Amino acid sequence: MLWTISGFTAPAVQKPVQKQLRMDSSKLILRNFDAEKIKAYTEQTEFSYKETPPDQDSLWARFWRWFWNWFTGVLENKTSGTFIKYGIIVALAALVAYIIIKAMGLDLKIFTGKSKMVEIPYSESLENIHEINFSGELDKAIATGNYRLGVRLLYLHALKVMNDHQLINWQPEKTNQIYIEELTDPVKRKHFGELTTQFEYIWYGEFFINKESFAEVKKDFDTFNGRRT
C-alpha cells in the first residue's frame, strides 16, 4: 500500500533528449529564366504596360498626364509617399470638420473662449473727413445758397482740425457728445458744445438758416478753429 502511494507521489524522472541538427545534403539546381523567351514576351504588345501618349493630345492633356505620372511616382516612393498619404488624410479630415462646423453655424473661435467681433456690412464710410476738400465744398455750398450743408461742412472741418491736433480721436461711429467729452480743456469743451447744438439744430432739426445766420455761425466756427492753433 505504501509502495503504491509513494509510486504515485514520486516525481517523474525525465531522461534528457538529445536534439541534433541534420544537414541538408540534397543538391540544389539553380534555374534561370530563359532570356530569349523573356525577350519574346516583351516584344508582344499584350505584355506592354507603358502608356504611349497619342500624338494628337493637347498641351493641357499632356501636362495632366505628366502630373499624374509624377504624382504616382511620388506616392510609390516609400518616404515621400507615406508622408503625402497622411497629409491628404489630415487635410480631408480638416475639410470635413470645417464643413460640419460651418453647417452647424458655430463660431470657429468657440474654442478660444472669446467671441469674434460682429461683422457689419455697413463698414463703408459715408464721407472721410480727411479726404474732403473743405474750402472748395464750402464755397460751392455758399454759392448755391445751401447753408445747411455749409454748417455741416464747418462742423466736419472742426472735427478734422481737432483730430489733427489730437484733441479728439475721430471715429465715424462716435457721437457728437463723445467728442465733447473727449475735450479736456473746459473752455474748448463749452465752446464746442455750443457749436454742436447749432449743428444739430440745423442738420438734424432742419431749422432754416439764411445768409446772415450762416455768417454768424461761420464766424463762430472760425473763432473756435483759430483758438486751437
Provide the binding-site residues for other proteins, judged by CB under 8 A: 105-107, 110, 113, 115, 117-123, 125-126, 152, 155-156, 172-177, 198, 200-201, 203-207, 213, 216
Residue (55 or 206) nearer to other proteins, CB? 206
Residue (56 or 123) nearer to other proteins, CB? 123
d(CA 33, CA 39) in angstroms, rounded, equals 11
Q: How far is the CB of 177 from other proteins (least distance, A)?
A: 6
Residue (145 or 205) nearer to other proteins, CB? 205
172: helix, strand or coil: coil
Residue (216 or 222) nearer to other proteins, CB? 216
Contact 124, 151 (CB under 8 A): no
The contacts of residue 188 (CB under 8 Å, 6+ apart) are 167, 224, 227, 228
Q: Which of 132, 168, 170, 174 is nearest to 153 (CA)?
A: 132
Q: How far is the CB of 182 from other proteins (least distance, A)?
A: 14
d(CA 4, CA 195) in angstroms, rounded, equals 127
Residue (87 or 205) nearer to other proteins, CB? 205
d(CA 221, CA 75) in angstroms, rounded, equals 75
49: its cell numbers: 504596360
17: its cell numbers: 533528449
Q: How far is the CB of 107 from other proteins (least distance, A)?
A: 6
Q: How far is the CB of 132 from other proteins (least distance, A)?
A: 12
Q: How far is the CB of 137 from other proteins (least distance, A)?
A: 15
